[in-house]
């Protein structure tokens, strides 16, 4: 392959590089299409011509005469700004020609490219920011109950103390996460990330990597480039540790260091990384009892429980059911494309009578199912017949039994019965069951183990 053939193969169709070569007499023996476009000439008008007649001040002639390369000089051709390099070409210690190439064809094109890249980077930055942004504020917490209002007032006050750790307690489904979002949104950290960590949903062997991140090559199967942990992602913002009572003891000591020192160390890393964040934790478990049982560190409990907010169970503020039902009907009508205008008195009475072990989350799921049933019937309002609460009849027996059984026992019995019923209806399809119950698949497996439900 001749030199010209080789150059044609390598550079002829390269849109990002202008190339030209002359022989030892300065005559052009190769020029690529990109440079021809800049010169506004045809190949016939360039090949065989002396370079001085095409670009009079060409540095290729200097490279021919001196045998020295000219690297990275500014080169302007027909108002096109180029950064060029001219190299002498040797054969048997003799100069046989000069090869020149230009990159960044037009600094204005490069400027536009940089601007486009920055624009795209900002787009991704905004997308990441939206993913790590809190979604709710205090207006999203529906209710007029006095105890609920007191909890909202406390949460709004503590929101302004942006460094204070907050513990939110309450049964599952009461709206603890809404409180966490609202506290962050009202705080001085609201413009920075809100990162939620479900301590129960992440397998124990992965929890440390998720929270602290890891360096590249930290362990087999790790991302080759490493990974930021949740604490680093939340820098200057808020970390919401949901279901903190499910965190393994082995991780609790490491969390304590983060709370006390505000530093993290990635897996495989050797340097501590300073972080500035607020921690909000939530649990439906009795952490004080867990401390006594040796299941939760006492020092971590006191470090997390700086400011406690309790969210009441729905059965303790049933007077808010009409407001909640109205809110969910309006919200779900949009998502489901249904057109239900409200609920009848007998429908409300039915909801009042129910025990609501799943609290507000269960109410929303019940309303969603009722909307679909009512829409199928072309009904305009929800009535008693549209509600088919599992084990509703058992709610009566619940009220009979509660006099001699603890609330925990009653709820566990109800939960086990509900799991068995839904698993039976789905033919033990775990994914379908978890979706129906609005819980994580890992939570379903853990509950099945707890109640010794095997299949």
User: What's the CA dihedral at 207, 213, 215, 216 to 10 degrees?
Assistant: 70
Q: From CA 352, how far away is CA 399, in angstroms rounded?
A: 14
For the stretch 292-343, pLDDT in tens is 989 999 999 999 999 999 999 999 999 999 999 999 999 999 999 999 999 9
pLDDT for residue 406: 60
pLDDT for residue 221: 64
Domains of the chain in start order, with CATH, are 3-106 (3.30.450.20), 138-310 (3.40.50.300), 323-450 (1.10.8.60)
pLDDT for residue 14: 72
Residue 203's H or E segment, with its range, is: none
Q: Pick the residue with more confidence: 207 or 281?
A: 281
Model confidence at 446: pLDDT above 90:
no
For the stretch 102-128, pLDDT in tens is 875 454 555 555 555 555 555 545 545
Residue 67's H or E segment, with its range, is: none
Model confidence at 398: pLDDT above 80:
no
3-state secondary structure of 4: helix
pLDDT for residue 401: 42
For the stretch 19-68, pLDDT in tens is 899 999 999 999 988 888 888 999 899 999 999 899 888 888 888 888 88
57 CB-contact burial (10 Å; exposed 0-12 / middle 13-18 / buried 19+): exposed
Q: Among the listed ranges 147-151, 232-236, 421-425, 431-435, which one has the minimum average pLDDT value?
A: 421-425
Q: Give the contacts of 294 (CB within 8 A, at least 6 positions apart).
A: none
Looking up tokens 């969390």 gives 255
Give the whole-number percent of the chain exceeding pLDDT 70.
85
């Amino acid at each position: 392959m001749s030199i010209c053939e080789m150059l044609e193969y390598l550079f002829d169709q390269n849109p990002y590089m202008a190339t030209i070569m002359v022989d030892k007499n300065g005559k052009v023996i190769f020029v690529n299409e990109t440079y021809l476009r800049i010169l506004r000439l045809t190949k016939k008008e360039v090949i065989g011509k002396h370079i001085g007649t095409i670009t009079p001040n060409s540095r290729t002639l200097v490279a021919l005469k001196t045998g020295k390369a000219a690297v990275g000089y500014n080169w302007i051709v027909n108002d096109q700004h180029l950064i060029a390099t001219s190299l002498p070409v040797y054969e048997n210690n003799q100069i046989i020609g000069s090869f020149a190439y230009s990159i960044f064809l037009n600094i204005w094109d490069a400027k536009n490219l940089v601007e486009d890249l920055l624009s795209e980077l900002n787009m991704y930055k905004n997308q990441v920011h939206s993913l790590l942004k809190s979604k709710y504020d205090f207006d999203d917490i529906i209710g007029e109950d006095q105890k609920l209002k007191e909890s909202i007032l406390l949460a709004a006050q503590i929101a302004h103390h942006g460094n204070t750790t907050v513990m939110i307690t309450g049964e599952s489904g009461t709206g603890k996460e809404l409180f966490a979002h609202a506290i962050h949104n009202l705080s001085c950290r609201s413009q920075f990330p809100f990162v939620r960590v479900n301590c129960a949903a992440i397998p124990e062997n992965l929890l440390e990597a998720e929270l602290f991140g890891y360096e590249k090559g930290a362990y087999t199967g790790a991302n080759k480039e490493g990974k930021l942990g949740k604490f680093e992602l939340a820098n200057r913002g808020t970390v919401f540790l949901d279901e903190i009572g499910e965190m393994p003891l082995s991780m609790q000591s490491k969390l304590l260091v983060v709370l006390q020192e505000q530093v993290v160390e990635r897996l495989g890393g050797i340097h501590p990384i300073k972080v500035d964040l607020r921690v909000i934790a939530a649990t439906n478990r009795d952490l004080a009892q867990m401390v006594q049982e040796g299941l939760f560190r006492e020092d971590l409990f006191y470090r997390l429980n700086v400011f406690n907010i309790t969210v009441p169970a729905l059965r303790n503020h049933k007077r808010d059911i009409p407001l909640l039902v109205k809110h969910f009907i309006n919200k779900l009508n949009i998502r489901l494309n249904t057109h239900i205008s409200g609920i009848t008195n007998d429908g409300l009475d039915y909801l009042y009578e129910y025990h609501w072990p799943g609290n507000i989350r269960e109410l929303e799921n019940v309303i969603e199912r009722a909307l679909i049933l009512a829409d199928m019937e072309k009904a305009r309002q929800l009535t008693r017949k549209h509600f088919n609460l599992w084990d509703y009849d058992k709610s009566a027996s619940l009220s009979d039994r509660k006099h001699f059984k603890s609330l925990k026992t009653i709820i566990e019995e109800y939960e086990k019965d509900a799991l068995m019923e839904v698993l039976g209806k789905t033919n033990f399809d775990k994914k379908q069951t978890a979706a129906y119950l609005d819980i994580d698949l890992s939570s379903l497996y853990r509950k099945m183990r707890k109640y010794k439900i095997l299949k």
